[in-house]
Structure 1
Amino acid sequence: MEQEQEKLLSMLFDGDFPDHWKDDVDVAVFLRNFASLGIDQISREPDQLKDDKRAVLQQTQDLAFSHYKTFIRTAHCSKDLYDDMNTAEKKLEGILNVLPQMQEKTKLFIDKGSELNGKRRLNSLTLAKHTGLLELLELPQIMESCVRSSYYEEALELSAFVKRLEKKHSHISAIAGIVKEVQHSNQMMLMQLLTQLRKDIQLPQCLKVIGYIRRMDVFSETQLRIKFLQARNSWLSGILSAISRDDRYHHMTRTLELYRVHLFDILTQYRALFSEDPQPIFTSFLQHKVSELLKTLEEDLLEGGGNMRTDSLLGQAMYFGLSLSRMGGDFRALLPKIFQDAAIRSLKNSLADANMKFQDGLSLLFLNAPANMPCLLSSTMASSQDDLHPPLSLLEFYPLAEYTNSVLGAFNDLRLCCPLSCVLPVTEAVTMSLEDAASAVRDLQRQEESSLNASERELLKNFIDRFSSILLPYIGRCFQALFPLSQLSSVLGVSPQQLKAEGLGILDEERVRGLLHSTNSALILA
């Protein structure tokens, strides 16, 4: 049917017609009517259409003339409607352009509204939980107050509560801030507790302090032991450093006393606090303190010189070593070497001073010498041969008397602390001192030999005799009083005769006399 309509349209309009006519209903109706007409009707149809057209035009003109006002208003209305439609279209286009932004902003508004609504709910919940939250926020302040007031028990409870809180709500920033502040207070509490250990503190308080530190769980057990010893050692070192060093004897006695009292307390506290101690920590600390004490003892003995009462110091040190033996720190076996070295050093210094004074006295030997000097050798030998009193005949010569007094002073200092083990170095030191004195006499004789008169030669000869026959034997007897052959024999397990044969425990007087003999022979020949 559609193909027939299309052929009919092509025949009527020579194929030149719009495409939309094919689907137009009015065109289809016209074609049906047209197809139903006869030839006569079709031939008359153009004229009929023209007449219809003229009639329609006439009617239209009449209608327009009769209702021209309506047409005018319609035209104006159409124009206004057209303008309004254009304006509406433009505004609609503007709305369409704005709609995406509006949609986006609406979404943002919805999101913001949801966020504000969530915050509002949180604020409402916060207000409902205000009291509990206030308590949580006040935890750092309460913790700090407890620490500053030394309420450590309460502070530890608060710290434990905050730790549990951190495990459950560590993702909350407020909780993280509270934890940080409480940790700061914990550090301050730890410093306070360690500071207490650096003071004069008794065992009950030590137990409390160590218990608090253990509950803080900041140190391992080994670290806690080391921290305790470090703190107590710091306190002990502080009171030891406060002792004046002007008087070395006072410094050493005071040091020994403080060591004996406080070190023993520290070790007792340590054993009470740490019953299951790994021995190396305790032993290392004890060895360290004993080494410090021995070093201080050596320094004081070195600086104190002959002004030290070594016997008293040795007694105190031995007593301290005995008391410390209960802790496994008996150091008494180390003391003899220290005191022996100090005694020998002091003896050598005293003998060196004696030799210097002797040489100074020799330079004045021939000044103010009496013209007729009595010889008391035979009268004094008998009275001073069997005792340790200084021979009075030595008073005839000031250098000999002064030298004797100096040597006796050195022997008396040595006698306070005179172990038998130092017999060899003491023997050598005294022999060398006597040899130096004899050499000084020899040098004097050689220097003054050509200028001496008979009286001065006699004076020098008597001086040498006193030195050889009185001074040397007297010094030898004093030396044997320091180191009795019977004691040496008992210790070494040999007879006194064998000791004499070996020259152990006696002075080699012949070596000294050998130097004086050559001088005296020269005087006799002269």
Structure 2
Amino acid sequence: MAETTFASSDILDPQDTTTLADLFSSSVKTQASQAYLNHLTTLDLEILTAEPSALQTQSHHLTSSLTSLTHTSYPAFISLHDTTTALTSSLDSFCSSLGSLINDSLPALEEASSSWRDRTDTVLNERRKARVVLEQHDKIRDLLDIPLLIDTCVRNGYFSEALSLANHAKSVTASYSTTSDKTPLILTSVLSEVHNSMNHMLVSLLSTLHEPNRKLPALWKAVNFLRKMDAFKAPIVEPGEKDKYVDLEEELALAFLSGRELCLSDDEENEEGSRSLS
């Protein structure tokens, strides 16, 4: 009897405050389990003793429902499995293709694009030049016609128009010279032809001064055009040689007088020749 009393007192030690939750806390792995244990500590003894039967009944009900669901939805499960397998295979193939695209195809495409750009730069530059020529075709044609027009004007005696065309060509060349370091070759060629045409005009005007049958208005007109052409440019005068400097107007006067003097000399020679023959 004493042993039984000792055992009971050992089991029901009043200083032992261990609860049911403390006993199972070491085996609890989830928050839901911990919450259920806390719920059990709040139940009455009668309800707590009936809890295993309720849990068993609920377990049988869930098992029966799961079995019924398995039998009725078997085709859906099979289809879901096949779909999942196919999706997994497709994702693996997609990842493999994407890796090949990133590692192999894209670098090759970038290299091909760079190579294509290098090969087409020359063609694009030529097309750009051709497009500029096409856009400026009318202006270029008018510019190339200037030397021919000047020659036509000089032959027909339209010296004023010839001077205007020459000044226009010089202004175009000057405008390009200010906007770029190097004058385009076409402008240089046109300007050279214009210079040759103006030399022909100069020769024609000087020849006018030597023509014996020219009237004074025609001679005066020729002198005015020589003045506009700036045919006799002022020479560079060295210090101490200013007495040798000849004014531009004086040079024009000398050219006029020398031409007329030559005409008078020719007339006198012709008259003397006719007198001797008579």
After TM superposition, the score normalised by the length of structure 2 is 0.47
After TM superposition, the score normalised by the length of structure 1 is 0.26
Higher relative contact order (CA 8 A, sep 6+): 2
Q: Rg bigger for which structure?
A: 1
